[in-house]
A and B are shown apart, each in its own frame.
Chain A
Amino acid sequence: MLAYGGKILRINLSKGKITTENLSEDLIKNYVGGRGFAARLLYDELKPGVDPLSPDNKLLIASGPLSGLFVPGAGKTTFASKSPATGSYGDSNVGGMLAPEIKYAGYDVIILEGKAVQPSYIYIENDKVEIRDAKKYWGRGAITTEKMLKEDLGEQFQIATIGPAGEKLVKFACISHDFGRQAGRTGVGTVMGSKNIKAIAIRGTRSLKMKDPKLLKKLSSDIIAIGQKHPNTKLFIEQGTASVTNWSNEQGAFPTRNFQSGYFEDHKKISGDVMIKETIVTNKACFGCPMACGKYAKTRKNNRDYYVEGPEYETAAMIGGDCAIGNIHDLTYANWLCDELGVDTISGGSVIAFAMECYEKGIITDKDTGGVKLKFGDIDSFEKILRQIVNREGIGDLLAEGVRVAAAKLGQNSGKFAMEVKGLEISGYESRKAPAMLLSYMTCDIGGHHNRAWAITHDIAVGRDKIEGKAPKVIELQHQRPIFDMLGCCRLQWVELETPLDYYSQVLTAATGIKFTLDDLIKASERVWNLTRLFLIRESKDFSRKVDYPPARFYEEKVQTGPTKDSMATKEQVNQLLDEYYEFRGWDKDGRPKAEKLKELGL
């Protein structure tokens, strides 16, 4: 199995049983790797209706066929499970060095199933796989745990760990890796915590062999040389994704005060150029990445230095804008808090912004918060509420369930501004005047996430009021972008450096010796998209197009300030977007894949 690790490592935590299985050629050809493998295996292995936090759920850690090879950005790992946020297929990917290490140890996918009897961590060194006691690390922060494990095992071990939020089953707990990278979304850290697993430590020393290493070397060297000359290489090495902050505000797309506005008046105080002056210590890349978007930063508070990678754009948007934290040092500290406690900054920011608005409106009071005056822009009350969430104290216990559950309990029409789709909090783009982006959030298979189809640039290019014709572009992106999650490779070289997509099919063919065309990859991606839709349908009680509706704020309330002031989508437009989308997808009026479509995809 050239270029692949070749094996699935299955760890049954309840029985303490560790086994391996060979990858099947059918799985490779139809699902490629990474997210593709995860979706297929979870669909096949999970019984319908399993509780996401029960031992019956599984956590999959998947590399891709390009992970660990001499390919730019080939360091992406997918974590996948049935999501405690959405109750359907969920995944989240992380950069860093993990996927290559999984491959060098000889695996493509690690499956954690069952539940360990006591807090444990997984130790993997090539064939040596053990479930070890983790008492020493339980209760510790994610950054602290990674540091301790590297000291205990050796710095060559790659670590993926949860923080206290994952242990306490906060529904938006992340998995942290490489001192600043997170698989943040869909509660993958929550599932890991539910299995009593604190961390995975892995070291692999084996080589990956390729069909035509010389061709791969040439293809990648050429692509790297072209990419180095692209102006965005310099921009991303200097500012990373924080370079998007100013632009997003100019477009009125920056979520502000729980999406009441699309423009944050203090955005220039938290942008990438401020980070260069104030906080950045070093530029930090994931494996094989020539554009090093990670900004490793330092801030000082209460006579202590705090080191953290970030804030990334999404953190700037969801804690900076959405909670109105308009000071780079406060924001960097908030980022550190979330990373150490093991909280997704996107959902975490959204949940606290929601709580801030509830407090402002009197839906949450001092009685609920234990006297904390929860205010937009106030880092101290942000920290207090975040700690209540992680400790599941007071109102924090409810907020730890995410905005959908919290709004259902709090009532008073708070569901209107619970900014989620399918139970997953929406990430950093105000979308009332960006129908393609709105549709992208509505239809994203894991819930309100941007990365499946970052379509806002398309709205800007072809007209932000235009509804018709947006669906085909969203679908095109939803097929292209997840290819990277299947390959185990970062998409930013394609998005920002214009690396042609057929480079990836060429390099995959050179590596594996299996003929993959770009069309094959797009078809596989569409297959996975339909499979995760079938997963959602299987898990839904009363399935209808309503699962794809955005929060009512987007179609009942106008944007309050900034360049998109007074804009609003309508319910009719929402339905129009869905009609067009379902038609182009070959789905019925409720959003179910039609039999012909499933047949075409071999499902």
Chain B
Amino acid sequence: MKLVADSKKCTGCRLCMSVCSLVHFDEANPKKAALYIDAKFPEPGTFHTRICDQCGTCASVCPEEAITKRDEDGVYIINAEKCTGCGECVEACPLNVMFVHEDSSVPIKCDLCKECIPVCSTKVLSLKEIKAEVKSKK
């Protein structure tokens, strides 16, 4: 499974980022979230919800094999103990969703906890099977 976003509905409230940092770190800090909202203002006045699509590029470039695919849902998870903080995955991520914060050398990556989905009142975020999407890309 993976997250998908219908960015046209996004209002830029950042509740998704807010709950993400709260759930993963017991802290309030949207800069420690595994997703991001790009706001394009004053023109053209749009929001874009940047989320991980579990493509696995991060795992493929990791020299330590610290990022592995979870069997049951295909989500890529960082093993913080193996991670050396080299930044290869951050560089390689095609969607720019491997987030770096000064508190830790381990990047912050979506683990599909799904907590961001219900807090969004305009229902920007939803779940999708990974397989179906890979096919349609081809």
Contact = CB atoms under 8 A, between A and B. Distances in A.
Contact of A70 (B28, B32, B42, B121): B28
B15 interface: yes
Nearest to B123: A228
Interface string B20-62: 0111011111111000000101111111000000000000000
B114 interface: no
Contacts of B79: none
Contacts, number: 110
A441 B71 CA distance: 64
B103 interface: yes
Contacts of B118: 221, 224-225
A291 B121 CA distance: 7
B119 interface: yes
Contacts of A69: 18, 28
Contacts of B101: 205
Interface in A66-106: 68-70, 72, 97, 100, 104
Interface stretch (A209-217, A241-249, A464-472, A543-551): A209-217
A207 B122 contact: no
A423 B30 CA distance: 41
Contacts of A72: 15
A207 B13 contact: no
Nearest to A72: B15
Interface string A219-237: 0010011011000010001
A69 B26 CA distance: 11
- The number of chain B residues touching the other chain, given as a range, is 20 to 34
A298 interface: yes
B27 A213 contact: yes
Contact of B29 (A97, A206, A227): A206
Interface in A286-302: 286-292, 294, 296, 298
Residue among B12, B42, B44, B122 with the highest chain A CB neighbour number at 10 A:
B42
A72 B19 CA distance: 11
Interface string B101-127: 111000000000000001101100000
A402 to B, nearest CB: 29
A294 B42 CA distance: 14
A221 to B, nearest CB: 7
Contacts of A282: 11, 45-47
Given A287-B13, A288-B13, A289-B13, A281 B45 contact: yes
A6 to B, nearest CB: 14
A523 interface: no
B40 to A, nearest CB: 9
B11 A205 contact: no
B92 to A, nearest CB: 23
Contact of A284 (B11, B23, B27): B11
B12 to A, nearest CB: 6
Given A224-B15, A224-B121, A285-B13, A298 B45 contact: yes
A286 B13 contact: yes
A282 B46 CA distance: 7
A281 B12 contact: no
Nearest to B27: A207
A281 B43 CA distance: 10
A104 B42 contact: no
Interface residues of A, number: 49
B127 to A, nearest CB: 18
B29 to A, nearest CB: 4
A143 interface: yes
Contact of B122 (A68, A146, A283, A296): A283
Contact of A210 (B18, B26, B44, B47): B26
Contact of A179 (B13, B18, B41): B41
Contact of B11 (A178, A213, A292): A292
Contacts of A206: 29
A206 B11 CA distance: 24
Given A228-B121, A233-B121, A290-B13, A207 B45 contact: no
Nearest to B41: A179
Nearest to B119: A224
A288 B19 CA distance: 10
Contacts of B26: 209-210, 213-214
B45 A70 contact: no
A228 B14 CA distance: 16
Given A205-B102, A221-B119, A290-B13, A213 B22 contact: yes
Contacts of A286: 13
B22 to A, nearest CB: 5
Given A155-B39, A207-B21, A104 B121 contact: no
A208 interface: yes
B27 to A, nearest CB: 4
Interface string B92-106: 000000000111000
A237 B10 CA distance: 11
21 contacts: A69-B18, A100-B30, A104-B31, A156-B31, A179-B41, A207-B103, A216-B22, A217-B19, A221-B119, A227-B121, A233-B121, A237-B122, A282-B47, A283-B122, A284-B11, A285-B11, A287-B13, A288-B13, A290-B15, A291-B121, A292-B13
Given A214-B26, A224-B119, A307-B41, 16 more contacts: A97-B14, A178-B41, A205-B31, A207-B27, A209-B26, A209-B27, A210-B27, A281-B45, A287-B18, A288-B18, A290-B13, A290-B121, A294-B11, A296-B45, A307-B43, A307-B45
Interface of B: 11-15, 18-19, 21-23, 25-32, 39, 41-47, 101-103, 118-119, 121-122
